[in-house]
Structure 1
């Protein structure tokens, strides 16, 4: 696997692109954590309501138990305390529901802010890098000696734009058929630069 081009300018562009991708991923993760933490601040009132209400319910029930022993009217005195304790329990449950809702919101917001940009960047960047690595690795196997340049010269005749071929020769196909070494090398250099390789020798 050949990850980077032989040509310095293209190799620098590839390395810069890779570093920018890593920075994008790290930045997205940090932003997602920041958003998660910021949203979780909204859960603090719910947590406080839950704790205060649970404590209130416990104290009301204790008060109800204390007056329960009063002669004749103990049961009647306890009933309002138990009702108030049940109301405090419902308030505590509402506080917990708020905390759960905020946690769910924080999770999905962080996921959307972190994962979606990362997947988008990977989907746009990685296929191009993979295609380059595959082509460069395959091309590298065929470029051992100057004799191998003929294959790349032929590919240049088939793939390169006509204005580039015209710069090499008035008759690039004829020069290739005649085996003109300068024309073959120039044609091969055009095609090799497309896959980021330099000619041998």
Structure 2
């Protein structure tokens, strides 16, 4: 699998792009933690209400228990304290619910802050990288075989602009069919260079004329 191009400029852009994606992802996660912390500050009043109401409820129930010990009228004296203690418990539950709502909201908001930017970036960047990896990996396998060089040259004939082809040969298709080694190699090199790869230095295209006898 070919992850990066051979040509320095294109390889540098790819490495920079990968590092940028990592940096963007790390920044999004960091920002999400900050958003979570800031949002959770809204839960502080609810926590304080819950704590104060619980403490008040306990004290009121203790007072009610003490009043209940008073002979004859203890039950009547304890009733208001017990009722106020129940109201304090309700207030504590309301504070707890408020804090839980804020916590849930902060959690989902931080997830959105982290995930949405990362997904948006990856949805644009990953297809480009995967397309390069598939194409470059295939081209690397082809450039090291004689038949592969032929296929790369044919790919150049069908995909490269006419201006590029005419700069290689006045009849690139005819030269390819005739197996002209220089033209075939040049066509394959153009296709590889367009992908960001360097041509192989060891493969000789097909139909190279035999060397002249000494």
The Cα shift of 1:194 comes to 2.8
- Corresponding residue of 1:41: 41
The Cα shift of 1:168 comes to 2.4
Give the Cα separation in 1 of the matches to 2:167 and 2:89. 85
**What are structure 2's unaligned runs of at least 5 residues?**
202-214
SS state of the match for residue 55, structure 1? helix
Greater mean alpha carbon deviation, residues 44-53 or residues 124-133: 124-133
Is the 1:143–1:199 contact (alpha carbons within 8 Å) kept by the matching residues of 2? yes
Is the 2:46–2:98 contact (alpha carbons within 8 Å) kept by the matching residues of 1? yes
- Corresponding residue of 2:212: none
Give the Cα separation in 1 of the matches to 2:105 and 2:40. 9
- Corresponding residue of 2:72: 72
- Corresponding residue of 2:204: none
Give the Cα separation in 2 of the matches to 1:107 and 1:161. 53
SS state of the match for residue 154, structure 2? helix
| 1:169-197, Cα deviation, whole Å (9 max, x unpaired) | 33221232233333222211221123322
Greater mean alpha carbon deviation, residues 166-175 or residues 144-153: 144-153
The Cα shift of 1:63 comes to 0.4
For this pair of structures, how many residues does the alignment match? Answer: 201
- Corresponding residue of 1:176: 176
- Corresponding residue of 2:55: 55
- Corresponding residue of 2:119: 119
Give the Cα separation in 1 of the matches to 2:32 and 2:105. 12
Give the Cα separation in 1 of the matches to 2:123 and 2:193. 25
| 1:133-187, Cα deviation, whole Å (9 max, x unpaired) | 1221222112226774322111100111223223323322123223333322221
- Corresponding residue of 2:21: 21
The Cα shift of 1:130 comes to 1.6
Greater mean alpha carbon deviation, residues 113-122 or residues 21-30: 113-122
Give the Cα separation in 2 of the matches to 1:119 and 1:72. 72
Q: RMSD over aligned Cα, in angstroms? A: 1.6
Is the 2:67–2:77 contact (alpha carbons within 8 Å) kept by the matching residues of 1? yes
> Higher relative CO (CA 8 A, sep ≥ 6), structure 1 or 2?
1
Task: Provide TM-score, normalisation by structure 1.
Answer: 0.93
- Corresponding residue of 1:86: 86
Give the Cα separation in 1 of the matches to 2:67 and 2:156. 99
